[in-house]
Amino acid sequence: MNIVVCVKQVPDTATERKLRSDDKTLDRDAADGVVNELDEYAVEEALRLKEAHEGEVTVLTMGPGKATETIRKALAMGADKAVHLSDDALHGSDALSTSYAMAQVLKKIGFDLVILGSESTDARTGVLAAMLAERLGTPQLTLANKVDVDGTSITVQRITDYGFDKVEATLPAVVSVVEKINEPRYPSFKGIMAAKKKPVETLAIGDASIDAAQVGLTAAWSSVVDFAAAPPRAAGTIVKDEGDGGAKAAEFLASKKFI
Amino acid sequence: MSEILVLVEQVEGEVKKVTLELLTLARSLGTPAAVWAGPGITSEAKARLAEYGADKIYVAPSSDIVEYVVAPKAELLAQLVADKSPAAVLVAATPEGKEIAGRLAIKTDSGVITDAVGLGEGFVADQSIFGGGINVQSKVSKGTPIVAVRPNSTAPEPSAGAGAEEEVSVTLSDAAKAARIVERVKQEKGARPELTEAAIVVSGGRGVGSAENFSIIEQLADSLGAAVGASRAATDAGWYPHQFQVGQTGKTVSPQLYIAAGISGAIQHRAGMQTAKTIVAINKDPEAPIFELADYGVVGDLNQVVPQLTEEVNKRK
């Protein structure tokens, strides 16, 4: 089974995240880049499926040169090889452009299964998996907390408001995973050393038949008009519990008409 | 005024509150038209949609629409966009709502904005990004604006609309029928409101100390008619089910009131609740970062403070 797992480099939530004042895109230099956390669960699930059914796990990322750090992490966890879509023309791409560019690469490299995290911690749009399925014309098995593959059929548990749906489809398919699906492994020392020797193919847009007019900031279907730091919250009232903390909190809630 | 399509969210025929919010929001920008995707519309549901301003109710009763994952709903909306040329399409910014919006954007070659917390003239959307650190205004620049709006962004206000029903038949492509829902499994969640929709959320964290002790949190939630949430520390410890996790890798909530008990307020948690209108924190550590966000904070042991608060709330009811 040929599994492609999509990973994204995102700014570390623990560091200050900013937008650029010039073109209002993410300031990638302001914060440390890390693997999008939910994508680690996607890598883990890909590795588990490979271990159960054989095959190959390819890491796919789109992003500037720095994104190779993210690829190395996935390779160190155990993925076999990587494809890095990197081109200045992609800067500022929105979700529609990103899904288009990634779908073009996926068509070029081929796949039985595409797995990704259900959203990224920076943009948090949660649309990429659905958009890839739409563009590729393949079944969408998203928000999965359990994935089973049997020959050419795939079954997932899709998280819903009321519990979960059991969803069935035929491969090839696009899957997104939620956090509770597994526990991602830590790269071993051996894995880290082996990752250095694994092949990473870097593609520019022309290598994947990506039309420059469909990507980048100028092609974007939506744009940031303006942004500003959120005004700091007004300092609240903090009291020490001296046996009446609950009652005082109740008074506060009553003053705000919550009770 | 131009029509604005609002995709109805419903559970077993009952219209969810977020849809009433979207109709209220749509009224300020155009003429709301509700879209009921699938079978099971009731006269109560129709009356409710009209009560909150739906001028039209498009009903697509085909059961095919709900038997496959997401794609049929996007196809239905795409057909309505082509037929009715609406000024915009609004969906709830739930995980599924956002997926529908994403597919619809591609089908109609339109821009999409997710997690809007406000929507103004020209469909300029307000968003709160990076865990509430930055406020952004965004705009769709191509096609029909498709906007996924977060629950609790607008207070629902009734204002009668005509509620004229129009049946819609949709022919689904084979691609839309690729991922079949073979079973729906309902997990008991009791009488509490849905976490992402609730006006009040009471969450417990590491300080709760055990699964059994979460009953303290639940009792406070029930006294306020609130949903229960949990921090990742609490769900990872197995004290509360994962689907109630609030934070970066869990649910994003934006309630009127958020009460955090025994939660330190790590950045990952803040990312999921920082846009709450009012925040109350109870924690024994006076240095806990949650107090930086709190409108009201009690430094104390939650085992004493929370039951007392519950008792006071019950007394005042």
Query: pLDDT for A34-43, tens place per residue?
Result: 999 999 999 9
Q: Assess contact for B71 and B63: CB atoms under 8 A.
A: no
In Å, how far is A58's CA from the nearest CA of chain B? 24
A221 touches chain B (CB under 8 A): yes
Which residues does B93 contact at the CB level (< 8 Å), separation at least 6?
B114, B115, B116, B148, B149, B150, B151
**Nearest alpha-carbon partner for A11 in A3, A23, A19:** A19
Tokens standing for residue B142: 């191509």
Helix ranges (DSSP H) in A63-171: 68-77, 95-109, 128-136
Residues of chain B in contact with residue A126, where contact means CB-CB under 8 angstroms, are 95, 98-99, 102, 114
- Inter-chain contact B294–A238, Cβ cutoff 8 Å? yes
A232 touches chain B (CB under 8 A): no
B111 touches chain A (CB under 8 A): yes
Cα–Cα distance list, A225 to A6, A220, B105, B121, B264 (Å):
29, 13, 20, 13, 35
Interface mutation vs chain A, best among B96, B130, B304, most A CBs within 10 Å: B130
Strands B125-129 and B112-119, how do they pair?
A: antiparallel
Measured in degrees and rounded to the nearest 5, phi and psi for residue B71 equal: -55, -40
In Å, how far is A199's CA from the nearest CA of chain B? 31
Query: How far apart (Å, rounded) are the C-alpha atoms in residues B111 and B210?
Result: 46
| Length, in residues, of chain A | 259
Query: How far apart (Å, rounded) are the C-alpha atoms in residues B245 and B232?
Result: 6
Interior/surface letters B206-238, b for 16+ CB within 10 angstroms, e for the rest:
bbbbeeebbebbbbbbbbbebbbbbbbbbbbbe
Query: How far apart (Å, rounded) are the C-alpha atoms in residues A78 and A43?
Result: 9
In Å, how far is B46's CA from the nearest CA of chain A? 23
Could you list the pLDDT tens digit for every one of the 317 residues in chain B?
699 999 999 988 999 999 999 999 999 999 999 999 999 999 999 999 999 999 999 999 999 999 999 999 999 999 999 999 999 999 999 999 999 999 999 999 999 999 999 999 999 999 998 878 899 999 999 999 999 999 999 999 999 999 999 999 999 999 999 999 999 998 876 789 989 889 999 999 999 999 999 999 999 999 999 999 999 999 999 999 988 999 988 899 999 999 999 999 998 899 899 889 999 999 999 999 999 999 999 999 999 999 999 999 999 98
The DSSP symbol for A149 reads E
Residues of chain A in contact with residue B248, where contact means CB-CB under 8 angstroms, are 13, 37, 121
Nearest to A246 among B100, B245, B308 (CB): B308
Strands (E), chain A: 2-7, 9-11, 33-35, 56-62, 81-85, 113-117, 140-150, 153-160, 163-170, 173-177, 200-203, 222-229, 237-240
What global pTM score does this model have?
0.94
HEC profile for B123-167?
HCEEEEECCCCEEEEEEECCCCCEEEECCCCCCCCCCCCCCEEEE
Tokens standing for residue B119: 């929507």
Tokens standing for residue A93: 């791409």
- Inter-chain contact B99–A160, Cβ cutoff 8 Å? no
Helix ranges (DSSP H) in chain B: 17-27, 43-51, 64-67, 71-84, 95-107, 214-224, 232-236, 267-270, 290-293, 302-316
Nearest to A166 among B182, B200, B299 (CB): B182
Nearest to A222 among B111, B189, B224 (CB): B111
B203 three-state secondary structure: strand
**Nearest alpha-carbon partner for A30 in A39, A21, A17:** A17
B285 touches chain A (CB under 8 A): no
